[in-house]
Structure 1
Amino acid sequence: MSPLGREPGHALLNPYGDGTVLGLTSPERANALLLGIIEAASSGPHVEPLAAAVARLITDATATDVCFVHVLDDTERSLTLAGATPPFDEHVGAIHLPIGSGVAGWVASHREPAVIVEHKEADPRYVPIPALRGTDYTSMASVPMETGPSGLVGVLNVHTVRRREFTDRDLQLLGVIGRLVAGALHQARLHRKLEARERAHERFAEQVIAAQEAERRRLAGDIHDGISQRLVTLSYHLDAAGHSMQSDPGLAAEQLGLARDLVDLTLDEARAAIGGLRPPVLDDLGLAGGLASLARSLPHFEIELELDDERLPEHVEIALYRIAQECLQNITKHARATLARVRFRVHRGTAWLEVIDDGVGFDVPGTPPGSSGSGGYGMQSMTERAELVGGRLRVISRRGSGTTVIATVPLSSQDAATDRA
């Protein structure tokens, strides 16, 4: 026999103080249950250990055979089995019920208790889950766990092998327990969300560092293969000119001419390398001016511009400029387009960039942009740039119908203040 007793029909004194008697008549058993719930709630910030402890407490308190604790997942569209009494604890995290599906899903949707005394299969709300062996149990009761009128946290299910008429007092007991543990489970869910957000931030930081290192390697390669080599060659021409100045003025003049050409090429490559880090045009003209300058540099097809003269935070301007640059390069290389449109606007706290062409288009794979097989490195690069500034990228295309790329970046209130400054 458990410390709480397995005899049905006892009462738990209602912790809300209205005098209602709920299931365990012995004050000692009521106190033991309350202490057990408090101990479980204070055992740690994680959902699964708390739900497992609650499942054990409930089977003891209600003299039932099995308890399942289904917790609302982070999407708030389905329930996940977060705790269960053995032998079903091995399925924790693997059972999911959409809101409205099955008895637990019905309880979550309607925020009402449900009781099935026998013949579960005949109840239209019942959905069999083979792993949970519903046919082994005759009766069941299910109640919502809520922190308030709109604070659904999950659903408690209890099952018995023998037929059992769950009384109003039984449901009251389950409801009280549900309310007692709902707050702790809610805090555990918030902790889980916080941990997930921290992991996402860590991955974000890793991506930023990797992108920075890749950019440094690319720039180092450009300098080594281009600027450095040209400077070495330039020194040879200047040496040759110096040696020939007296003996062969014509050769010296030729070498100086070659050196001058190399200086021009080296300056061009240096400007390109600097532009690879941050386009200088953004400092002078902002994103609208930068996009207009970018469009003028591509004479291969007509480009129509619709650009708001809005300044954005530096990192957002760079990301959107690079996305537009990649789009226009893709159009030049692959689209065989005669017309492109570049639109930039700020509307209701969101920056919008659209690049549209009338080219040959392509079939967008059924995976999110940036995923494997979603259009190559260029598409992945644009997606990552958008995500790094908190935005998202959409690509709309099909063969023969051109391509539309839309980047949206939400602006914080501080960003909006920067825009107006």
Structure 2
Amino acid sequence: MSSAEPERYAPPNGTVHGLIDPDREIPLLLGIIQAVASGPEVEPLAAAVARLITEATATDVCFVHVLDDTERSLTLLGATPPFDEQTGQVTLPLGSGVTGWVASHREPAVISEGKRSDPRYVPIPSLRGSEFTSMASVPMESDPGGLVGVLNVHTIQRREFTARDIELLVAIGRLVAGALHQARAHRQLAARERAHERFAEQVIAAQEGERRRLANDIHDGISQRLLTLSYHLDAAARIIHDEPAEGAAQIALARNLVDLTLDEARAAIGGLRPPVLEDMGLAGGLRSLARSLPDLELQLELFDGRLPEHIELALYRIAQECVQNIQKHARASSAQLRFSVRDGVARLEASDDGIGFDTGPGTPLGRPDGYGLHSMAERAELVGGQLHMMSRPGSGTTVVATVPLTPDPNGKGS
């Protein structure tokens, strides 16, 4: 082999004992198929493929290098012991080393001996390449996904790999490539979903932060000034001398205005930042909401566990909107509010026995009479959930919000 130009792989003409006995090829391929069908995880699949190839063939070690999401480098994600400890830690740029050469040229490479004199070879100390004499490297690629990675086998003793050996490794590479392509796509989708969840949490946190700021501004500014004004009016009422009756009447009017404004300010503060959620969670917030409606019989069925703050806030706002709609529009004599968590899904349901309305084709989700269903749907979607509404004239209305929860190491959903 020339040291200036790497030799392309050409199968040897002589008959050499292959990597695997023909009788063991089918069990190996069946084992690879079973590993491929085991699930959409890249690392377990790569590790299983490396183990199966080494156990079934006359090789000493197998490495599975997978193209990363940037498609500019390869990462070792599958290896047989003791090199399994290096998985996830060895990265090769495309074009670097024999593995990078195979990935760039999309063709196999075979080195029977003299690796150090091959211009493609780049030693990787953690993989102890000097201990292995021969190697075969094949691209893993599929029609839909293109190049997915590179599969390498190494032997301590010198080996002339046969054409059948390379055909078998290429076939395994193609078989694994389709599954790895799907696994990478699944991983990328999961990463995008996590990014969306983080974005939703950040948006809701920003919204609630702004609500807290406004609540504090109202409390520290408007409310305090109104309280001071109220004290001044009380003092003025005690010292009026001229036209006491008229002065008292004006002061009484001013007092009423102050009281109304204070009530509005307190209601605004409560609407902007419900402190009951922080102390008692969503169930406590919904109970407090029900107690604030003396004119409506509201039956409650509530799960008392806690959810992530952004989900509790979203569901609480949806419940507030539902209750306001029932009060303003439903003409209901009773209503139900249910909150549950089952099979990893949080479910909020608000229903009433009111007049209902038409939800047939062409009926807008955001009704002109003020139901505001669009805003509730947006709140649900922002935390990865959905909103559904069912109603018929004369048969009441039911609104259901569902939010899937993902496990959290601390035991909460997220």
Please indicate the TM-score interval, normalised by the length of the shorter structure: 0.5 to 0.7
State the Cα deviation string for residues 2-43 of structure 1 (Å, max 9, x = none).
xxxxxx8358xxxxxxxxxxx6433xx232112101111112
Matches within 5 A, 1:327-342: none
Matches for 1:304-315 after TM superposition, within 5 Å:
none
Secondary structure, aligned partner of 1:157: strand
State which of 34, 42, 52 in structure 2 corresponds to 1:39: 34
The reply on whether 1:177 has 2:172 as its aligned counterpart is yes
Q: Kindly tell me: are residues 109 and 150 of structure 1, through their superposed partners in 2, closer, same or farther at Cα, counting changes over 3 Å? A: farther
Per the alignment, residue 337 of structure 1 pairs with none
Residue 75 of structure 2 aligns to a residue whose secondary structure is strand
Question: How do 1:15-414 residues align onto structure 2 when only pairs under 5 Å count?
Answer: 24-26=21-23, 29-148=24-143, 151-247=146-242
Matched residue type, 1:175: V
Which amino acid counterpart does residue 9 of structure 1 have in structure 2?
H
CA contact (8 A) 2:43 2:78 kept: yes
Cα offset, 1:129, TM superposition: 1.1
> Runs of 4+ in structure 1 displaced over 4 angstroms?
none
Post-superposition Cα deviations, 1:261-299, rounded to whole Å, max 9, x if no partner, equal xx9xx9xxx9xx99xx9xxxxxxxxxxxxxxxxxxxxxx
Q: Which amino acid aligns with 1:177?
A: I
- Call closer, same or farther: CA 1:212–1:139 in 2, change over 3 Å: same
The Cα shift of 1:105 comes to: 1.1
Counterpart secondary structure, 1:158: strand
SS in 1 for 2:121: coil
Instruction: Check whether the contact 1:69–1:84 (CA below 8 A) recurs between aligned residues.
Output: yes
Name the CA distance, whole Å, in 2 between partners of 1:200 and 1:215: 22
Q: What does residue 314 of structure 1 align with?
A: none
Higher relative contact order (CA 8 A, sep 6+): 2
How far, CA to CA, are the matches of 1:200 and 1:92 in structure 2? 25
TM-score using structure 2 length: 0.53
Larger deviation, residues 107-116 vs 213-222: 213-222
**CA distance 1:66–1:49, change in 2 (3 Å):** same
SS of 2:32 mapped into structure 1: helix
Kept in 2, the 8 Å contact 1:146–1:182? The answer is yes
Q: d(CA) in 2 for partners of 1:205 and 1:173? A: 48
Aligned-residue identity in percent: 76
Report the residue type matching 1:237 in the other structure.
Answer: H
Does the Cα contact within 8 Å between 2:63 and 2:151 map onto a contact in 1?
Answer: yes
- Quote the Cα distance in structure 1 between the aligned partners of 2:56 and 2:149: 19
Task: Supply the distance in 2 between the matched residues of 1:177 and 1:146 (Cα, whole angstroms).
Answer: 10
- Determine the C-alpha separation between the residues in 1 that align with 2:60 and 2:98: 18
Structure 2 residues without counterparts, runs of 5 or longer: 1-15, 273-381, 383-414
What SS is found at the alignment partner of 1:125?
coil
Query: Contact conserved, 1:59 with 1:65, CA < 8 A, in 2?
Result: yes
Q: Do the aligned residues in 1 keep the contact of 2:102 with 2:109 (CA within 8 Å)?
A: yes
How far residue 167 of structure 1 moved from its aligned partner, in angstroms, is 2.5
Q: Distance in 2 between matches of 1:71 and 1:156?
A: 9
Distance 1:219 1:127 in 2: 62
Separation in 1, partners of 2:179, 2:32: 10
Closer, same or farther: CA 94–35 of 1 in aligned 2, 3 Å: same
> 1:83·1:89 contact (CA, 8 Å) conserved in 2?
yes
Residue matched to 1:406: none
Q: CA deviation at 1:171?
A: 1.3
Q: Work out which of the residue numbers 17, 20, 31 in structure 2 matches 1:9.
A: 17
Unaligned runs of 5+ in 1: 1-7, 12-22, 278-387, 389-421
Specify the alignment match of 2:404 in structure 1. Answer: none
Give the deviation of 1:59 after TM superposition: 2.0
Q: From the superposition, tell whether residues 149 and 40 of structure 1 become closer, same or farther in structure 2 (CA, over 3 Å).
A: closer
The structural deviation recorded for 1:150 is 6.3
| Residue identity opposite 1:119 in structure 2 | G
Conservation of the 8 A alpha-carbon contact between 1:62 and 1:170 = no
Does the CA-based 8 Å contact 1:81-1:95 persist in structure 2? yes
In the TM superposition, residue 246 of structure 1 has moved relative to its aligned partner by: 3.0
Q: Which secondary structure does the structure 2 equivalent of 1:164 belong to?
A: coil
Change (3 A) 1:149 1:235: closer
| Residue 220 of structure 1: how far off its partner (Å) | 1.6
Assess if the C-alpha contact under 8 Å between 2:18 and 2:161 holds in 1.
Answer: no
- Show the counterpart of 1:330: none
SS in 1 for 2:22: coil
Match of 2:358 in 1: none
Superposed displacement of residue 101, structure 1: 1.3
Query: What SS is found at the alignment partner of 1:70?
Result: strand
* d(CA) in 2 for partners of 1:109, 1:200: 31
Q: Number of residue pairs matched?
A: 244
**Alignment TM-score, normalising by the size of structure 1:** 0.52
Offset at 1:247? 4.4
SS at match of 1:180: helix
Q: Report if the CA contact (8 A) 2:18-2:162 is conserved.
A: no
* CA-to-aligned-CA distance 1:203-222 (integer Å, 9 cap, x gap): 22322332233222211211
